[in-house]
Amino acid sequence: MAARPVSRMLLRVLRSSVRSCSSGAPVMQPCPGESSQSATKELSRRRQFLREHPAPFSAFLTDSFGRQHSYLRISLTEKCNLRCQYCMPEEGVPLTPKADLLTTKEILTLARLFVKEGVDKIRLTGGEPLIRPDVVDIVAQLHQLQGLRTIGVTTNGINLARLLPQLQKAGLGAINISLDTLIPAKFEFIVRRKGFHKVMEGIHKAIDLGYSPVKINCVVMRGLNEDELLDFVALTEGLPLDVRFIEYMPFDGNKWNFKKMVSYKEMLDTLQQQWPELEKLPEEESSTAKTFKIPGFRGHISFITSMSEHFCGTCNRLRITADGNLKVCLFGSSEVSLRDHLRAGASEEELLRIIGAAVGRKKRQHAGMFNISQMKNRPMILIELFLILQDSPPAIPSISSRDPVHVQGLRHRVRFSNPMPTLWKGCWVSKSPRLAPQRLGSGSLQRHYSSHPDTDTNPECLSPMSQARATHSGPLPTSDRLTHVDTEGRAAMVDVGGKPDTERVAVASATVLLGPVAFKLVQENQLKKGDALVVAQLAGIQGAKLTSQLIPLCHHVALSHVQVQLQLDSTRHAVVIQASCRAQGPTGVEMEALTSAAVASLTLYDMCKAVSRDIVLGEIKLISKTGGQRGDFHRT
């Protein structure tokens, strides 16, 4: 977009009949008595001149490092029709009052100003932009802006199939659809809503309407979906998709953990082992993606390397949040309110000075992944949704099958992984060493659920064939009398006021023998009551937090962490539950862990009792405890 030299002669010829807008583009002035035919010729001359001699890029959108910001992302709303566990902080996000959000008129006013200064691409984001009632009208009015080449949208895909024909007619030119898993059960667990098949329908509708490529945004997070990399790539064999693997990034409230990030090079190595012929494609200077293609495949794949290999040096993006704040860097905490100046009656020139000052303060590059994780910034949903994963949702380390996985939705026959069981942290989960040709359809799923796959805590997962025995690390003196009775044998709570605060961790387990019929329904998530594993997992977490209300003489403990894992054991038609609790305090958390495991097992019974009354709850036991004066305990 750099300016080309314009001869003085051309300037003299045009000077008498042109004026300049702030970007320097010539604007023709009509002459008195000029015929419509002459005016049409003059307009044609102007357009030809602009094509051959682009005006210098706006100084207001050029920062101190020479980066020209021609790409604007506008958030239309903070609301979303999904409730993704990885998008918001655990405590939730307070939404901005409607009166403080940009109106449609304000959005278009700002868009018109930015386009006039040289922005040629606008992407509409959210929250979920397609839940805004006037989104089609906004696209149509943006499409009228001369100089705007591309209007895109980033969506979760739920409403896409219904709205896309209207959006395309209005002028929508590019589509990014966020999708982190190809497994319907995992999708439902992650977003806390149904809708996987609507997203698939939206992808197909985009392909049918001629969008190419249709971009799929997939944030890769260790323990959640890195085992699906090969499956996502397989989709590009026969479909015009650009699957974009995004490195997990830190935002306020998502408890970013470096150990959860799967780097670009690690992902690339995984793919090259399967497809050594993978070739890198040329990229535009301002591109954020490193793009690759497998020879013979219709689509391609990309990597967004914000953390491991930043692209700040060529960044050309600006963002306007739904409440009207301009962010010059996605990871920067500084913002300036364009809404307030707009509503105070600021002129176009004043707004440009404000925008120019903000752009001029943009730093050479962001602070780096470790420093970013310590900085205060908006939660991602309040900047633009998709898809920044958090470290401590009730997340799923793996939901996969020991048989070839089938996913409903995509019509093209793709090759999917034929997972082989491998031992991970002591638990059987699936790994995808090779691909086998399979049609995407319905199928059974081997499901493993974890409320918090925390790599810092590594309790031994339970093997149904293991033999249990107790071991102690260090001396473990036992009491010769019950601690919850006084000297006269009456029930009493132990006084822990004089004990030091130490970190206490306890792990307990339980086993629920379901029988073959109930087990199959749980495995395939076909129970009429809903997903038994998810409900039991949440019940186990709640049970741990309510232990002092259920067990009369237990102290109330402020738990810092609760983890509940449920593993399907097909050999015994059983669900093996493991609960881990952590706290800093003067008393242990054994009872919290045991209560958690017990409540989770009772919940499974309740979910399945309509199918079978021959369910057996058992093997509720303490696996390990650490911290406290009496030493550690481990059952191996």
CB neighbour burial string for 63-80, b if at least 16 within 10 angstroms, e if fewer:
beeebbbbbbbbbbbbbb
Between 258 and 359, residue with greater pLDDT = 359
What is the spatial distance between Cα 204 and Cα 326, in angstroms, rounded to a whole number? Answer: 34
What is the spatial distance between Cα 343 and Cα 315, in angstroms, rounded to a whole number? Answer: 30
What is the spatial distance between Cα 240 and Cα 228, in angstroms, rounded to a whole number? Answer: 19
47-381 belongs to which homologous superfamily? Answer: Aldolase class I (3.20.20.70)
Percent of the chain with pLDDT over 90: 47
Q: How many residues does the chain have?
A: 636
DSSP 374-387: TS----GGGT--S-
Please check whether residue 279 is in contact with residue 305, taking contact to mean a CB–CB distance below 8 angstroms: no
Between 614 and 596, residue with greater pLDDT = 596
H-helix segments, 481-627:
516-523, 532-545, 547-550, 590-608
Most confident of 470-474, 597-601, 607-611: 597-601
Q: Which residues lie below 8 Å from residue 494, measured CB to CB, with a gap of 6+?
A: 483, 484, 553, 555, 587
Cis peptide before 127 (omega within 30 of 0): yes
Please check whether residue 370 is in contact with residue 258, taking contact to mean a CB–CB distance below 8 angstroms: yes
* pLDDT tens-digit series, residues 320-351: 999 999 998 865 567 899 999 999 999 999 99
Report pLDDT for 273.
95
Q: Is the pLDDT of residue 27 over 80?
A: no
What is the spatial distance between Cα 176 and Cα 121, in angstroms, rounded to a whole number? Answer: 14
What is the spatial distance between Cα 115 and Cα 146, in angstroms, rounded to a whole number? Answer: 8
Between 369 and 63, residue with greater pLDDT = 63
Strands 632-635 and 616-626: antiparallel
Dihedral of the alpha carbons of 139, 140, 142, 146, in degrees to the nearest 10: 140
Amino acid residing at 188: E
* pLDDT tens-digit series, residues 362-372: 887 644 443 43
Please check whether residue 457 is in contact with residue 580, taking contact to mean a CB–CB distance below 8 angstroms: yes
Q: Is the pLDDT of residue 554 over 60?
A: yes
Cis peptide before 426 (omega within 30 of 0): no
CB neighbour burial string for 134-160, b if at least 16 within 10 angstroms, e if fewer:
ebbebbbbbeebeebeebbbbbbbbbb
Amino acid residing at 566: L
Structure tokens at 253: 């409230």
* pLDDT tens-digit series, residues 366-419: 444 434 334 444 444 443 433 333 333 333 333 333 333 334 445 343 333 333
What average pLDDT does range 18-32 have in this prediction?
Answer: 41
What average pLDDT does range 459-467 have in this prediction?
Answer: 35
Residue 435, CB half-sphere, CA atoms under 13 Å: how many?
A: 21
Structure tokens at 582: 């952590």
What is the spatial distance between Cα 622 and Cα 150, in angstroms, rounded to a whole number? Answer: 60
Report pLDDT for 434.
33
Report pLDDT for 308.
73
Residue 551 CB-density burial (10 A; 0-12 exposed, 13-18 middle, 19+ buried): middle
* pLDDT tens-digit series, residues 145-182: 999 999 999 999 999 999 999 999 999 999 999 999 99
**Confidence bin at 291 (pLDDT 50/70/90):** very high
Report pLDDT for 453.
40
What is the spatial distance between Cα 321 and Cα 117, in angstroms, rounded to a whole number? Answer: 19
Structure tokens at 536: 């039991």
What average pLDDT does range 427-447 have in this prediction?
Answer: 35
Q: For residue 531, what are the CA distances in angstroms to 185, 402, 558, 603, 610?
A: 9, 20, 29, 11, 14
Among 122-126, 144-148, 624-628, whose mean pLDDT is lowest?
A: 624-628
What average pLDDT does range 582-601 have in this prediction?
Answer: 92
Report pLDDT for 417.
38
Q: In which region does residue 148 sit, left (phi positive, over 0), alpha (psi from -120 to 50) or beta (all else)? A: beta
What is the spatial distance between Cα 24 and Cα 53, in angstroms, rounded to a whole number? Answer: 11
Q: Is the pLDDT of residue 21 over 70?
A: no
Please check whether residue 406 is in contact with residue 438, taking contact to mean a CB–CB distance below 8 angstroms: yes
CA angle 263, 300, 272 (to 5 degrees): 50
Please check whether residue 262 is in contact with residue 369, taking contact to mean a CB–CB distance below 8 angstroms: no
Please check whether residue 358 is in contact with residue 336, taking contact to mean a CB–CB distance below 8 angstroms: yes
Catalytic residue at 606? Answer: yes
| CATH class name, domain 502-634 | alpha beta
Report pLDDT for 390.
30
Average pLDDT of the chain, as a whole number? 76
Candidates 114, 162, 165, 172; CA nearest to 138 is 172
Report pLDDT for 284.
79
Where do the domains of the chain lie? Answer: 47-381, 502-634
Candidates 95, 88, 80; CA nearest to 195 is 80
Q: What is the largest CA-CA distance in the chain?
A: 113
Q: Is the pLDDT of residue 576 over 50?
A: yes
Report pLDDT for 248.
78
Helix, strand, or coil here: 223?
A: coil
Structure tokens at 339: 């809404």
Between 225 and 18, residue with greater pLDDT = 225
Listed in order, strand segments (DSSP E) in 191-320 are: 214-220, 241-247, 279-280, 289-293, 300-304, 317-320
Q: Which residues lie below 8 Å from residue 397, measured CB to CB, with a gap of 6+?
A: 223, 224, 424, 427, 429, 448, 450, 453
Q: Which residues lie below 8 Å from residue 47, measured CB to CB, with a gap of 6+?
A: none
Q: Is the pLDDT of residue 86 over 70?
A: no
Report pLDDT for 475.
43
SS3 of 151-205: the string is EEEEECCCCHHHHHHHHHHHCCCEEEEECCCCCHHHHHHHHCCCCHHHHHHHHHH
Structure tokens at 558: 């402020």
Percent of the chain with pLDDT over 70: 66
Q: For residue 453, what are the CA distances in angstroms to 129, 456, 566?
A: 31, 9, 12
**Confidence bin at 588 (pLDDT 50/70/90):** confident
Amino acid residing at 83: R
Between 453 and 614, residue with greater pLDDT = 614
The torsion angles phi and psi of 583, rounded to 5 degrees, stand at: -155, 160
Most confident of 426-440, 495-509, 566-580: 566-580
What average pLDDT does range 54-74 have in this prediction?
Answer: 88
Check 501, 606, 614, 632 and give the catalytic one: 606
Cis peptide before 94 (omega within 30 of 0): no
Dihedral of the alpha carbons of 51, 286, 240, 122, in degrees to the nearest 10: -70
What is the spatial distance between Cα 165 and Cα 169, in angstroms, rounded to a whole number? Answer: 6
